[in-house]
Structure 1
Amino acid sequence: MQIGIDKIGLYAPHLYVDMNKLAVRRNVDPEKFTIGIGQEKMAVAPITQDAVTMAVNAALEIVDDKDKEAIDFVILATESGIDHSKAGAIYVHHLLGLHEHARSVELKQACYGATAAIQMAKGHIALHPDSKVLVIGSDIARYGLATAGEATQGAGAVAMLIGADPDILALEENSAFKTDEVMDFWRPIHSDKALVDGKLSNEQYIAFFTNVWEQYKAQSGLGLADFAAITFHLPYTKMGKKALKAVMDEGTDDDAERLMTNYQISAEYNRMVGNIYTGSLYLNVLSLLENKEDLQPGTRIGLYSYGSGAVGEFFAGILQPNYRKQLPVKQHSQSLTSRTKISVDDYEAIFEETLPTDGSEVTLDVSADPAEVCLAGVKDDMRQYVRK
């Protein structure tokens, strides 16, 4: 039985800041952002969007009434959780109107969380072939204004339906993974902003990739020639390129040209949205599938997942015969190109606008947010969500 990605949906906030404008404000050569790290736009989440609302907005794009009956497991992967105890997946389950006979949990391991969720989903589907698992990676990347990591911020969510006989990507059994205790990126419990050792994180990202790639080759007997493309978790778009170059000498010139060309295509959405942590790898996958129109069914796509702290994994999937019919290409193109560009001043004001931390109540104006699901405020220490 084949198990994999049956549907995939995307949500990015309707606001963004131009990286050229941000660079000028920070007295940085714009090419350091646009070429050096490879980012053009950064999605900015208004206060009316959080990990829950973005997750639901992404899921609404793909979940129909038939899916609602089949989904019996909801996994929200996030490192932007809204509660220390209650899983954000409970809110997702409720706002989507799913039936009560479904497990709903939240999963955390930095940017690796959605991959762990998919592996859990595969096990569940193996036992329950008629069911579907809803996996969502949803995050708001925050490092702080004028910090070294500011240019690698972003916000968004990718939702995936995992099931048997998938229409998009059938995931193969071979999978190589590694865990090591590394303090390259973390967010202390008292902080709403991440801390990062950028140099160490870059080094570990590549080191983990080469390690799990070697494991994977030993398991599978496959090499670069067997892949149409390799997709990556991208904190910024140049990061995956560095990792790919680390193994490129293993293949032919044709392999190098094919993989690098497809890498650039796969990074298009990431360049326009920024880092969305747990959803970043799957944003990369979606960009490849939607923007590379001549990818042939039956070809193999590699996936490299990395979550600081750290866990890394390499696995692969086979494109299914009618995969393009399941991709809302026009809808994604329209949603990304119709976003509103905001000034750096507006971006900074939105960044500094946060929910109260003293238990006080707040009502938010959701009229300016075009998303179907929004955060409308906080009352009695409970977030108030609305579905328009």
Structure 2
Amino acid sequence: MDIGIDQIGFYTPNKFVDMVDLANARNQDPNKFLIGIGQDRMAVADKTQDAVSMGINATAEYLDQVDLEKLGLLIFATESGIDQSKSASLFVKEALNLPAQIRTFEIKEACFALTASLQVARDYVRAHPHHSAMIIGSDIARYGLSTPGEVTQGAGAISMLIKEDPAIIALEDGHTSHSENINDFWRPNNLATAVVDGHYSRDVYLDFFKSTFKPFLEEKQLAVADFAGICYHLPYTKMGYKAHKIAIEGQDDETVKRLSDNFQLSAKYSRQVGNIYTASLYMSVLSLLENGELEAGDRVGFFSYGSGAMAEFFSGRVVEGYQKRLRPALHARMLRERIRLGIGQYEEIFTEGLQALPENVEFTSDANHGTWYLAGQEGYVRQYKQK
């Protein structure tokens, strides 16, 4: 029985910062950001967008295609949670009027959490083959103004429906994992921004790729040439490119060109959005699917990494007719119609986003019609509305 990705929804807020503007404001050579980091724009979430609202928007994109009577599981993956106890998934469930009988909870392990959710969902569907599972990864990456990590911030969400006989990607059996208790990136409860050792995190990311990629090839008796593309967790695109160079080392020209071309296509959305933590790998997958020219049966590799640290490599095969389930025009319009912020506007929005919400507050949104947003808080209970 094939199990895998049947639907993918994508959302990013309606505001962004251009990397040339940011570089000039920080007295940096723009090529340091455009080439050295590999980013063109960075999504910015204002006070009306949080992990929940973005997750609702990503899921609402395909909800009318879901048989809700067969939906049995909803998992929300995030490191930008809004409550220390209550799952963000319950807010999504209420907003979208999902069935009361579904099992639902939240998962956290830095940027690995959506992959953990995917594997749990896959096992659920395997045990309940006529049911489906919905998984959401949604995050706001914040490091602080004028910090080394500022250029690697971003905001967005990916939502996926996992079921038997999937229409987009059928997951293959097998995976390789590697985990260690290390401190390359973390965010204590009393901090609104992350603590990160950028150079150390880069080195660990690459070490963990080596620890999962080669063993996966050996375990599955595969060659690098057997992949049409390899998608990576992209906290910034240059990080993934460093792992990509390891993957293609020593390969023939045809394999190098195919994988390199598809890497660039997989990074297109990341270059426009920035880091969305747990959903970054799957934004890479969606970018490849919507911008590339894959054929039915093509094998795609997935490298998932979450600081702290946990990594996994696995693979899937593209399903015939997958293009019919994608919405590239919708996503292109969403990215194109965003508002370009001046640096002063961005800094004001960023600083406001670090503040805890008061017990009672009401917000209005400048989002497009139909967009879900955080409308405020009543008695410390967050309120979500549709524009």
- TM-score for the superposition, normalised by structure 2: 0.98
Q: 1:250 to 1:355 in 2, by over 3 A?
A: closer
Mind listing any 5+ residue stretches in structure 2 that lack a counterpart? none
For 1:252 and 1:281, how far apart are their aligned partners in 2?
A: 26
Superposed CA deviations along residues 57-84 of structure 1, whole A, max 9, x for unmatched, are: 0000011264322211110100000000
Contact 2:179 2:311 (8 Å CA) reproduced: yes
Partner of 1:307 in structure 2? 306
1:194-235: CA deviation from partner (whole Å, max 9, x where unpaired): 110001100000000011012201210012110000000000
SS of corresponding position for 2:287: helix
Cα 1:323–1:63, aligned 2, differ >3 Å: closer, same or farther? Answer: same
Whole-Å Cα distance in 1 between the matches of residues 66 and 249 of structure 2? 47
Deviations along 1:307-360, one digit per CA (max 9) or x if unpaired, are 000000000000000100000111111111111111111111100113753853
Contact 1:356 1:362 in 2 (8 A): no
Percent identity, please.
Answer: 47
State the alpha-carbon separation in 2 of the partners of residues 4 and 108 from structure 1. Answer: 21
What is the distance in 2 between the residues matched to 1:210 and 1:355? 36
Letter in 1 for 2:375: A
**Alpha carbons 2:357, 2:377 under 8 Å: kept:** no
How do residues 1-80 of structure 1 correspond to structure 2 at under 5 angstroms?
Answer: 1-64=1-64, 66-80=66-80
> Is the Cα contact below 8 Å between 2:17 and 2:341 reproduced in 1?
yes
Contact 2:14–2:367 (Cα < 8 Å) also in 1: no
Residue number in structure 2 paired with 1:162: 162
Residue 354 of structure 1 aligns to which amino acid in structure 2? G
**Secondary structure of residue in 1 paired with 2:17:** strand
Alignment check: 8 A CA contact 2:113 2:278 kept: yes
How far residue 378 of structure 1 moved from its aligned partner, in angstroms, is 1.3
Mean Cα displacement is larger for which, 249-258 or 325-334? 249-258
Query: Which consecutive aligned stretches of 4+ in structure 1 deviate over 4 angstroms post-superposition?
Result: 367-371
| Equivalent in the alignment of 1:317 | 316
- Name the SS for the 2:314 alignment partner: strand
The equivalences for 1:234-245 within 5 A come to: 234-245=234-245
- Pair 1:168–1:338, CA change in 2 (3 A): same
Amino acid at match of 1:254: E
Match of 2:343 in 1: 344
Is the 2:359–2:378 Cα contact (8 Å) retained in structure 1? yes
Matches of 1:146 and 1:370 in 2, distance apart? 34
Mean Cα deviation higher: 234-243 or 354-363: 354-363
Asked if 1 retains the 8 angstrom alpha-carbon contact of 2:192 and 2:354, the reply is: no
Does the CA-based 8 Å contact 1:267-1:287 persist in structure 2?
yes
Shifted more, 362-371 versus 251-260: the winner is: 362-371
Inter-partner Cα distance in structure 2 for 1:369 and 1:191: 32
Letter in 2 for 1:44: V
User: Cα–Cα, structure 1 residues 206 and 93, in superposed 2: closer, same or farther, change >3 Å?
Assistant: same
Query: Structure 1, unaligned stretches of length 5 or more?
Result: none
* Alignment match, 2:326: 327
Within 2, Cα distance between the matches of 1:255 and 1:313? 23
Counterpart position of 1:198: 198
> Which residue identity does 2:301 align to in structure 1?
G
Distance in 1, Cα, partners of 2:64 & 2:31: 43
Name the structure 2 match of 1:186.
Answer: 186
2:146 is matched with 146
Q: Which amino acid aligns with 1:311?
A: M
In 2, are the aligned partners of 1:182 and 1:309 still within 8 Å (CA)? yes
Aligned twin of 1:354? 353
Aligned residue for 2:349, secondary structure, equals helix
- Contact 1:4 1:162 (C-alpha < 8 Å) held by counterparts: yes
1:371 to 1:183, Cα distance in 2 relative to 1, 3 A: farther
- The 2-side partners of 1:358 and 1:243 are apart by 39
- How many residues are paired up? 387
Please give the alpha-carbon distance, in whole angstroms, between the structure 2 residues aligned to 1:66 and 1:270.
Answer: 27
SS at match of 2:82: coil
CA RMSD of aligned residues (A): 1.3
Closer/same/farther in 2, CA of residues 65 and 218 from structure 1, 3 Å limit? closer
* Counterpart residue number, 2:295: 296
AA of the residue aligned to 1:59: T
